[in-house]
Homo-oligomer: A and B are copies of this chain.
């Protein structure tokens, strides 16, 4: 993903392409593989990468804006930090609790044969499969 696309991505979701948002978006979206992160880890990586500092509040704001715009998703991981995911397609995860590392699993690589029907009056929105790993 090129910088011009970053600008388009921001503008098309009603987000002004500010210096900070562009830096964060470049960092998050100009990569080939999915990136899973917490705000804390993103902050550390950005501090290392960038000369100028982006305030922590801005990182929170931006990540939430990107999520609201559908450019990031949230992954549920044990512990009390929130994990985000640059893969916004429906997919699943391996989770290595030793390293706290998430690995994507393509939705097509998981086939579920049997699933209970949703409770009365409810529908199934989506199914998430979480595979815990050990050594």
Contacts and interface: CB of A to CB of B under 8 A. Distances in A.
Interface of A: 74, 76-78, 80-82, 94, 96, 103, 105, 109-116, 118-119, 121-135
- Per DSSP, chain A at the interface is strand
Contacts of A132: 124-128
A57 to B, nearest CB: 17
A111 to B, nearest CB: 4
A129 B132 CA distance: 11
A127 B131 contact: yes
27 contacts: A76-B76, A76-B78, A76-B130, A80-B80, A80-B81, A80-B82, A94-B119, A94-B122, A103-B119, A109-B115, A110-B116, A111-B113, A112-B129, A115-B129, A118-B131, A122-B133, A122-B135, A123-B133, A124-B132, A124-B133, A124-B134, A126-B131, A127-B129, A127-B132, A128-B130, A129-B129, A130-B130
Contacts of A129: 112, 115, 127-130
Contacts of A110: 112, 114-116
